[in-house]
């Protein structure tokens, strides 16, 4: 019995031992599998997982550079940055945005305007973009939101730099504005291979200096490597490449002069370009009415946009660069110069003006603006009294192609090359042009109206100003420009803007002197601008113009009052001062303003007064349009 | 004086197994170091808490180690029955926490009766086979299977897949060690495999998801697969020598869920690398080796089976946890023995070691 039990015990023990041995083998195998797995993960695939771990924890965030500041020639700030808190939302993170916005109501003062703008922005952008809900939060709003932040996932408060244009509407067309980057901008950025540099940037220069000098103003985007946790929260900064701020721009504009000029336009539509005739520096670039560029910075809301975009006064249109108008009598000095230069007229050549001019084979006479005519008119007098009859004959003698070739030298019919975008070329007609454009022969009659700046001839105010500057400086072609210098933010060094140069005109100085003398006489008693020049402490040369408005582009609907106003002539004036050593040359146009001498010349006078003597114009009085005209 | 201290030390350590004690202390110390790192390296709260857990568990271990195996034999049935009753109580009246009914509120404290079964299961089966020393018939195995299946089924229903597997394993090891014939083992395994498709239908959605996720973690990278992806990244990026203590980016930056409990190996592996992992495996092998030696030297069937089963269960814990964190086993809630933060698992683990030590130090007295 005991032996049996012992044998059983022995048998049981040996079974147990064998099972333990088996368990040991299994354990070793299992642990070897684990060891193998660890070797696989930590040795074989280590690089792979290392990369994953780094990607897991490191997020590279762009650091947006500070945009360059824009100042006028005297250092007055025209576009600056200021820091403010903005409430932003990533719509893609929020299931019901409308409700979230409703709930935000008591915390942040949301105007219907803010909501409309957000809606518009959402239509234009992708779901994962962070969009501003409300800009410029007050301290109280920031505090209140911070306390309730947990309720609003997807919303975030950010400190942002905003662009500000302290002078509002003044010089808005020259300075332009920045706005949110849209699809078209994105494509342009991609084409320029600037995509990386624009990471994190959500505004871009759209117009004017802001648009054309975007490459100087933007700066170089920096980056920051931040360690993040699994929730995407930044824990600490690992490395940082500082952004390089955009360069500061000094413009050639004199903002005070600009203001004087814009105020002189009060209530009227038009454009004025004033430049330094010796350098082509633009001192004032006016297009009236203007707009407040600050509206565009945060994304313009639909109401204001409609107001600006659908206004019949077209405030968004930069008339100085894009408005193409018949130059009218303002081209008479240039025609006179051509007359002398071509030898078709001598200074002594005199006509007896009956008040009209007949073209052989044409029944209808070409009428002078003054019924009955100006009597005996030589070249000097033709400019001073603006005799149309004199130029009808002259144009006929010159022929269109001769006019065309000569006027190209003064920059007519081609873009001036100003350093902001959007300029229109105007039109300097020729036989070739008409054939190409209308498949029609040029008629002699076409040349006659071109002789007084009508017909097919179209100029922009900028072209006219540039041509005037060339007259004023004695024949040196200048390229008008707005940029004076670029200040490198890092070194502080200023790099002057080098405008393009052109070949000087080969015009005899005595011819030039003759025409300029006639232009000075325009401002003297008996001249068409005598009224505007009365009492000036300096002498200046000028030429009035009155352009007939042919063919209306706007106002298709018939509205008697409106059409009447729009059919009224444009008033033009070109001038330079002082007459002896010109420091400023300008061209200006008042749309439907009537006669150049009455409506346009006084504006030039105010500009000259301020620029040359520092005298500010007297308080505004109602516009009167009488006195000697054209 | 010295003699007094010596004799006091002898009194205290008389029932403790030297090699086991040393390895346990090393492992728990290692655990404290990793828990400190896993809690951000700035707060001692968790590490201190774990040390307190350890102190409690060590006391329990010492008490159990001083209980003679014969007493344990007599306690087997009461413990098992108590555990079973409590499990039924959980099924009927248990508190639901995190979607599972695992806790029983006794009025003064909440307990997880499945923890009792971790000890109760191998004890009851060892007790049962100890009584049937004369030779085992199929009916005996059937009864053993019933003893095994009841608690396992109850725990699986809670649901607590991880614990039910471990408790099943602890009981199965007893049956295996006692000599269940290979034929039966193999045919049961085949039957089990055949049953698997049906078992799939019985599983809860999250359990299925975990198994699916194991097969391809990328299918659900932000959901169930997240645990596995992040823990393999952590371990893999640790490389051979690790990123250094407190320097695990995955661990420190909150990418690893449950990083001081079930997924603590990810932190350990990231910061101490392959070297650390192999050291850990070796330490576990020492524990297992020592446990199996105790089992081989045990004086009677009960002690032998119990010691063997406890040791192999410990091995299973270690393997399942490491396999899960390393991405070769599904995610089941199993802590890394002696390392993971947690009082309950530490307590049941050390009570198990207390039994091993009791068996190891009492064998001379019952040798005949």
Would an 8 Å CB–CB cutoff place B184 in contact with chain A?
no
For A12, the closest of B249, B284, B301 (CB atoms) is B301
For the ranges A284-288, B18-22, B28-32, B112-116, which has the lowest average pLDDT?
B112-116
Q: Is the dihedral of CA A266, A272, A276, A280 positive or negative?
A: positive
Residue ranges of B 71-100 with Cβ closer than 8 A to chain A: none
Residue A2 has pLDDT above 70, yes or no: no
For B240, the closest of A30, A35, A43 (CB atoms) is A43
User: Cα-flanking dihedrals φ and ψ of residue B100, to 5°?
Assistant: -130, 145
Question: How does residue B368 score in pLDDT terms, banded at 50, 70 and 90?
Answer: very low
Residues of B in contact with A53 (CB under 8 A): 233-234, 236-237, 249-250
Residues in chain A: 630
For residue A329, indicate whether it is catalytic: yes
The larger pLDDT score, comparing residue A594 to residue A387, is at A387
Residues of B in contact with A31 (CB under 8 A): 281, 284-285, 319
Rank A193-197, A433-437, A506-510, A557-561 by mean pLDDT and report only the highest: A433-437
Record: contact A19-B312, CB cut-off 8 A: no
Task: Identify the bridge partners of residue A494 per DSSP, sorted by sequence position.
Answer: A487
The full 3-state SS of B234-285, as one line of letters, equals HHHHHCCCCCCCCCCHHHHCCCCCCCCCCCHHHHHHHHHHHHHHHHHHHHHH
Record: contact A20-B177, CB cut-off 8 A: yes
The larger pLDDT score, comparing residue A304 to residue A39, is at A39
Q: Which residue of B has its CA nearest to A43?
A: B239
Question: How high is the pLDDT of residue B94?
Answer: 76
Q: Which residue of B has its CA nearest to A30?
A: B319
Residue ranges of B 320-349 with Cβ closer than 8 A to chain A: 322-323, 326-328
Percent share of chain A, pLDDT over 90: 45
Residues 6+ apart with CB under 8 A from A244: A65, A219, A220, A222, A489, A490
For B323, the closest of A5, A34, A53 (CB atoms) is A34
For A8, the closest of B134, B250, B273 (CB atoms) is B134
Tell me the nearest-neighbour CA distance from B105 into chain A, angstroms: 35
Question: How high is the pLDDT of residue A560?
Answer: 42
Would an 8 Å CB–CB cutoff place B156 in contact with chain A?
no
Calculate mean pLDDT across residues B310-317: 94
Question: How does residue A571 score in pLDDT terms, banded at 50, 70 and 90?
Answer: very high
- Which of A88, A71, A422 is CA-nearest to residue A255? A71
Task: Identify the bridge partners of residue A86 per DSSP, sorted by sequence position.
Answer: A158
pLDDT 10s digits, B219-272:
555 555 677 778 888 899 898 998 888 888 777 766 777 788 889 999 999 999
For A227, the closest of B176, B253, B308 (CB atoms) is B253
For A30, the closest of B249, B301, B319 (CB atoms) is B319
Buried b / exposed e along A41-79 (16+ C-beta atoms within 10 A)? bbeebbeebbebbeebbeeebbebbbbbbbbbbeeeebb
B84: helix, coil or strand?
helix
Q: Which residue of A has its CA nearest to B266?
A: A38
Record: contact A50-B236, CB cut-off 8 A: yes
Question: How high is the pLDDT of residue B58?
Answer: 94
Which H or E run contains A353?
strand A351-353
Percent share of chain B, pLDDT over 90: 44
Residues of A in contact with B240 (CB under 8 A): 42-43, 46
Peptide bond into A289 cis (omega under 30): yes
* Token representation of residue A21: 């041995």
Calculate mean pLDDT across residues A374-394: 92
* Average pLDDT over chain A, rounded to an integer: 85
Rounded CA-CA distance A591/A547 in Å is: 9
Tell me the nearest-neighbour CA distance from A39 into chain B, angstroms: 7
A319: helix, coil or strand?
helix
For the ranges A329-333, A372-376, A423-427, which has the lowest average pLDDT?
A372-376
* Average pLDDT over chain B, rounded to an integer: 85
Residues of B in contact with A12 (CB under 8 A): 133, 179, 301
Residue B70, burial from CB neighbour count under 10 angstroms (0-12, 13-18, 19+): middle
For the ranges A268-272, A432-436, B209-213, which has the lowest average pLDDT?
B209-213
* Token representation of residue A315: 């405030």
The larger pLDDT score, comparing residue A399 to residue A130, is at A399
Rounded CA-CA distance A214/A210 in Å is: 6
Question: How high is the pLDDT of residue B366?
Answer: 46
The larger pLDDT score, comparing residue A59 to residue A588, is at A588
For A57, the closest of B178, B249, B289 (CB atoms) is B249
Strand A584-590 relative to strand A570-577, pairing: antiparallel
* Tokens 């409990």, residue located: B261
Question: How high is the pLDDT of residue B290?
Answer: 96
Question: How does residue A557 score in pLDDT terms, banded at 50, 70 and 90?
Answer: very low
Question: How high is the pLDDT of residue A542?
Answer: 93
pLDDT 10s digits, A59-73:
667 788 889 999 999
* Token representation of residue A455: 């017909």
How many Å separate Cα B305 from the centre of its chain?
A: 17
Size of interface A-B (CB pairs under 8 A): 133
Angle, vertex CA B153, rays to CA B82 and CA B193, nearest 5:
145
Question: How does residue B51 score in pLDDT terms, banded at 50, 70 and 90?
Answer: very high
CA distance readout (Å), A125 to A88, A133, A136, A202, A573: 14, 14, 21, 11, 46
DSSP per residue over A22-51, as a string? HHHHHHHHHHHHHHHHHHIIIIISHHHHHH
Residue A557, burial from CB neighbour count under 10 angstroms (0-12, 13-18, 19+): exposed
Task: Identify the bridge partners of residue A180 per DSSP, sorted by sequence position.
Answer: A203
Rounded CA-CA distance A369/A452 in Å is: 11
Best of A32, A44, A46, A53 to substitute, by most chain B Cβ atoms within 10 angstroms, is A53
Rounded CA-CA distance B204/A189 in Å is: 53
Residues of B in contact with A28 (CB under 8 A): 285
Which H or E run contains B352?
helix B343-366
Residue A625 has pLDDT above 60, yes or no: no
A135: helix, coil or strand?
coil
* Token representation of residue B264: 């603590």
Q: Which residue of B has its CA nearest to A33?
A: B323
Cβ proximity of A416 and A479 under 8 Å = yes
Residue B211 has pLDDT above 60, yes or no: yes
Residue A117, burial from CB neighbour count under 10 angstroms (0-12, 13-18, 19+): buried
Would an 8 Å CB–CB cutoff place B275 in contact with chain A?
no
pLDDT 10s digits, A89-98:
877 777 788 8
Record: contact A8-B233, CB cut-off 8 A: no
Cβ proximity of A330 and A519 under 8 Å = no
Question: How does residue A132 score in pLDDT terms, banded at 50, 70 and 90?
Answer: confident
Question: How high is the pLDDT of residue B225?
Answer: 64
Residues 6+ apart with CB under 8 A from A323: A271, A287, A317, A424, A460, A461, A589
Residue ranges of B 135-154 with Cβ closer than 8 A to chain A: 135
Would an 8 Å CB–CB cutoff place B278 in contact with chain A?
yes
Rounded CA-CA distance A512/A517 in Å is: 9
- Which of B321, B318, B265 is CA-nearest to residue B291? B318
pTM for the structure as a whole: 0.61
pLDDT 10s digits, B17-47:
889 999 999 999 999 999 999 887 777 888 9
Cβ proximity of B315 and A27 under 8 Å = yes
Residue B163 has pLDDT above 50, yes or no: yes
Residue B163, burial from CB neighbour count under 10 angstroms (0-12, 13-18, 19+): buried
For A16, the closest of B237, B304, B315 (CB atoms) is B304
Rounded CA-CA distance A201/A593 in Å is: 44
Task: Identify the bridge partners of residue A572 per DSSP, sorted by sequence position.
Answer: A545, A589
Residue B365 has pLDDT above 70, yes or no: no
Percent share of chain A, pLDDT over 70: 91
Q: Which residue of B has its CA nearest to A17?
A: B296
Question: How high is the pLDDT of residue A382?
Answer: 93
Tell me the nearest-neighbour CA distance from B106 into chain A, angstroms: 38
Residues of A in contact with B255 (CB under 8 A): 56-57, 229-230
Tell me the nearest-neighbour CA distance from B120 into chain A, angstroms: 21
Residues of B in contact with A45 (CB under 8 A): 236
Residue A212 has pLDDT above 50, yes or no: yes
Rounded CA-CA distance B315/B291 in Å is: 10
Question: How high is the pLDDT of residue B246?
Answer: 85
Question: How high is the pLDDT of residue B219?
Answer: 56
Residues of A in contact with B250 (CB under 8 A): 53, 56-57
For the ranges A3-17, A341-355, B265-279, which has the lowest average pLDDT?
A3-17
Rounded CA-CA distance A37/B236 in Å is: 10
* Token representation of residue A394: 């002259």
Question: How high is the pLDDT of residue A558?
Answer: 39
Record: contact A235-B253, CB cut-off 8 A: yes
Rounded CA-CA distance A402/A341 in Å is: 11
Which of these is catalytic: A125, A329, A386, A449? A329
Cβ proximity of A243 and A63 under 8 Å = yes
CA distance readout (Å), A430 to A327, A434, B271: 16, 6, 84
The larger pLDDT score, comparing residue A481 to residue A488, is at A481
Residue A75 has pLDDT above 70, yes or no: yes
Listed in order, strand segments (DSSP E) in A242-294 are 248-251, 270-275, 282-288
Residues 6+ apart with CB under 8 A from A14: none
For the ranges A230-234, A252-256, A623-627, B234-238, which has the lowest average pLDDT?
A623-627
Residue ranges of B 280-299 with Cβ closer than 8 A to chain A: 281, 284-285, 288-289, 292, 295-296
């Amino acid at each position: 019995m005991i032996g049996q039990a012992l044998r059983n015990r022995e048998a049981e023990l040996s079974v147990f031992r064998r099972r333990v041995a088996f368990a040991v083998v299994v354990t070793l195998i299992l642990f070897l599998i684990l060891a193998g797995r660890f070797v696989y993960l930590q040795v074989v695939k280590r690089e792979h997982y290392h990369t994953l771990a780094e990607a897991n924890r490191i997020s590279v965030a762009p650091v947006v550079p500070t945009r360059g500041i824009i100042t006028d020639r005297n250092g007055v700030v025209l576009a600056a940055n200021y820091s403010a808190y903005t409430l932003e939302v990533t719509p893609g993170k929020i299931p019901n945005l409308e409700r979230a916005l409703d709930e935000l109501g008591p915390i942040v003062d949301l105007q219907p305007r803010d909501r409309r703008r957000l809606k518009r922005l959402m239509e234009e952008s992708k779901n994962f973009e962070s969009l501003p809900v409300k800009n410029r939060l007050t301290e109280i709003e920031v505090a209140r939101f911070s306390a309730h932040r947990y309720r609003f996932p997807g919303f975030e408060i950010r400190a942002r730099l905003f662009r500000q244009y302290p002078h509002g509407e003044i010089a808005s067309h020259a300075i332009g504005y920045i706005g949110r980057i849209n699809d078209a901008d994105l494509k342009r950025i991609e084409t320029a291979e600037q995509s990386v540099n624009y990471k994190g940037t959500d505004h871009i220069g759209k117009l004017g200096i802001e648009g054309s000098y975007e490459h100087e103003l933007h700066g170089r985007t920096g980056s920051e490597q931040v360690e993040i946790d699994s929730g995407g929260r930044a824990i600490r900064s690992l490395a940082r490449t500082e952004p390089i701020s955009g360069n500061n721009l000094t413009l050639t504009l004199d903002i005070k002069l600009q203001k004087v000029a814009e105020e002189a336009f009060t209530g009227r539509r038009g454009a004025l370009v004033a430049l330094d005739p010796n350098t082509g520096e633009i001192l004032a670039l006016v297009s009236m009415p203007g707009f407040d560029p600050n509206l565009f910075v945060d994304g313009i809301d639909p109401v204001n946009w409609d107001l600006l975009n659908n206004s019949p006064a077209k405030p968004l249109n930069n008339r100085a660069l894009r408005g193409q108008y018949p130059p009218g009598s303002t081209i008479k000095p240039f025609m006179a110069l051509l007359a002398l230069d071509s030898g078709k007229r001598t200074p002594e050549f005199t006509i007896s003006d009956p008040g009209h001019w007949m073209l052989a084979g044409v029944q209808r006479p070409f009428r002078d603006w003054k019924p009955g005519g100006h009597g005996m008119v030589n070249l000097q007098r033709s400019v001073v009294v603006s005799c149309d009859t004199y130029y009808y004959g002259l144009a006929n003698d010159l022929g269109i192609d001769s006019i065309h070739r000569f006027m190209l030298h003064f920059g007519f019919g081609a873009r001036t090359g100003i350093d902001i975008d959007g300029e229109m070329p105007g039109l300097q007609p020729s036989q070739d042009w008409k054939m190409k454009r209308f498949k029609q022969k040029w008629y002699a009659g076409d040349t006659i109206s071109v002789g007084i700046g009508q017909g097919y001839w179209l100029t922009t105010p900028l072209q006219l100003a540039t041509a005037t500057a060339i007259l004023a400086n004695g024949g040196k072609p200048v390229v008008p420009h707005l940029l004076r210098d670029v200040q490198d933010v890092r070194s502080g060094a200023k790099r002057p803007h080098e405008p393009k140069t052109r070949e000087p005109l080969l015009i005899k100085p005595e011819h030039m002197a003759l025409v300029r003398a006639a232009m000075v006489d325009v401002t003297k008693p008996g001249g068409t601008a005598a009224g505007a020049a009365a009492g000036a402490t300096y002498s200046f040369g000028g030429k009035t113009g009155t352009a007939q408005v042919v063919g209306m582009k706007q106002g298709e609907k018939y509205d008697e009052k409106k059409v009447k106003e729009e059919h009224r002539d444009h008033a033009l004036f070109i001038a330079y001062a002082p007459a002896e050593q010109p420091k400023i040359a300008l061209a200006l146009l008042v749309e439907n303003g009537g006669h150049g001498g009455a409506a346009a010349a006084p504006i030039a006078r105010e500009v000259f007064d301020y620029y040359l003597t520092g005298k500010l114009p007297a308080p505004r009085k109602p516009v009167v349009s009488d006195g000697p005209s054209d | 004086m010295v003699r007094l201290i010596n004799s006091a030390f002898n009194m205290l350590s008389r029932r403790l197994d030297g090699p086991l004690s040393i390895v346990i202390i090393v492992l728990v110390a290692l655990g404290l170091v990793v828990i400190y790192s896993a809690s951000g390296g700035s707060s001692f709260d968790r590490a201190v808490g774990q040390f307190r857990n350890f102190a409690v568990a060590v006391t329990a271990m010492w008490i159990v180690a001083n209980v003679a195996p014969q007493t344990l034999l007599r306690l087997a049935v009461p413990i098992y029955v108590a555990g079973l009753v409590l499990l039924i109580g959980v099924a009927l009246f248990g508190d639901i926490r995190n979607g599972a009914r695992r806790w029983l509120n006794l009025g003064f404290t909440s307990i997880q009766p499945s923890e009792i079964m971790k000890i109760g299961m191998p004890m009851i089966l060892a007790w049962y086979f100890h009584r049937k020393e004369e030779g085992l018939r199929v009916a005996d195995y059937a009864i053993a299977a019933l003893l095994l299946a009841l608690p396992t089924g109850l725990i699986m229903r809670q649901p607590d897949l991880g614990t039910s597997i471990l408790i099943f394993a602890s009981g199965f090891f007893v049956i295996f060690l006692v000599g269940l014939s290979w034929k039966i083992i193999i045919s049961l395994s085949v039957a089990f495999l055949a049953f698997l498709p049906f078992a799939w239908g019985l599983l809860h959605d999250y359990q299925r998801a975990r198994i699916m996720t194991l097969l391809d973690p990328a299918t659900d990278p932000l959901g169930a697969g997240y645990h596995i992806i992040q823990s393999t990244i952590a371990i893999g990026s640790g490389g051979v020598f690790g990123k250094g203590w407190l320097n695990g980016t995955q661990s420190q930056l909150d990418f690893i869920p449950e990083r001081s409990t079930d997924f603590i190996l990810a932190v350990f592996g990231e910061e101490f690398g392959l070297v650390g992992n192999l050291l850990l495996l070796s330490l576990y092998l020492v524990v297992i080796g020592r446990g199996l030696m105790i089992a081989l030297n045990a004086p009677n069937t009960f002690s032998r089976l119990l010691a063997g089963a406890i040791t192999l269960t410990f091995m299973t814990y270690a393997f399942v946890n490491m396999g899960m964190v390393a991405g070769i086993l599904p995610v089941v809630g199993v802590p890394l023995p002696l390392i993971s933060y947690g009082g309950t698992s530490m307590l049941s683990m050390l009570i198990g070691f207390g039994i091993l030590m009791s068996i190891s130090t009492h064998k001379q007295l019952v040798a005949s």
